[in-house]
Amino acid sequence: MSKWYIQWKLTQQYWSLPDAERLANGLRILGMTEADAKAGVINDWGITTDTGGGFAVSETDVTALYKALIKYRPHVSFEVTPVIPLDQHAKTLRKIAASLQSK
């Protein structure tokens, strides 16, 4: 299972909706997000104070993540980045440092 850092942003298609439709879509998106959190697909989530975007953290495989995110289109866009845990990063960095010192 991989860990993912997800930046999300509400799209122009969302913001161009009439007020009532935008609110209805906002509530629909909120419901889907709550369901994904309850199902464990989203492990952490936040919204920026300007309410136009935010972040999520997910620990799942790429297929499950894709399935979770595609349903938010076209009103939410995503930038998804794989994340390496601290212990893995430290181990790799120390290994590189050791190999450089042995030269």
| CA 12 to each of CA 18, 67, 92: distance values in angstroms, whole numbers, following the listed order | 12, 22, 41
CATH number assigned to the domain comprising residue 60: 3.30.70.1060
The number of distinct structural domains making up the chain is: 1
Question: What DSSP character marks residue 52?
Answer: S
List the end-to-end C-alpha distance of the chain, in Å, as a whole number: 35
Give the pLDDT of the chain (103 residues) as one tens digit per residue.
899 999 999 999 999 999 999 999 999 999 999 999 999 999 999 999 999 999 999 999 999 999 999 999 999 999 999 999 999 999 999 999 999 988 7
Q: What's the token pair of residue 71?
A: 């349903």
| SS3 state of residue 101 | helix
Query: Cα–Cα distance between 89 and 20 in angstroms, integer?
Result: 47
Q: Write down the pTM of the prediction.
A: 0.85
| SS3 state of residue 85 | coil
Query: Range of 16's domain?
Result: 2-101
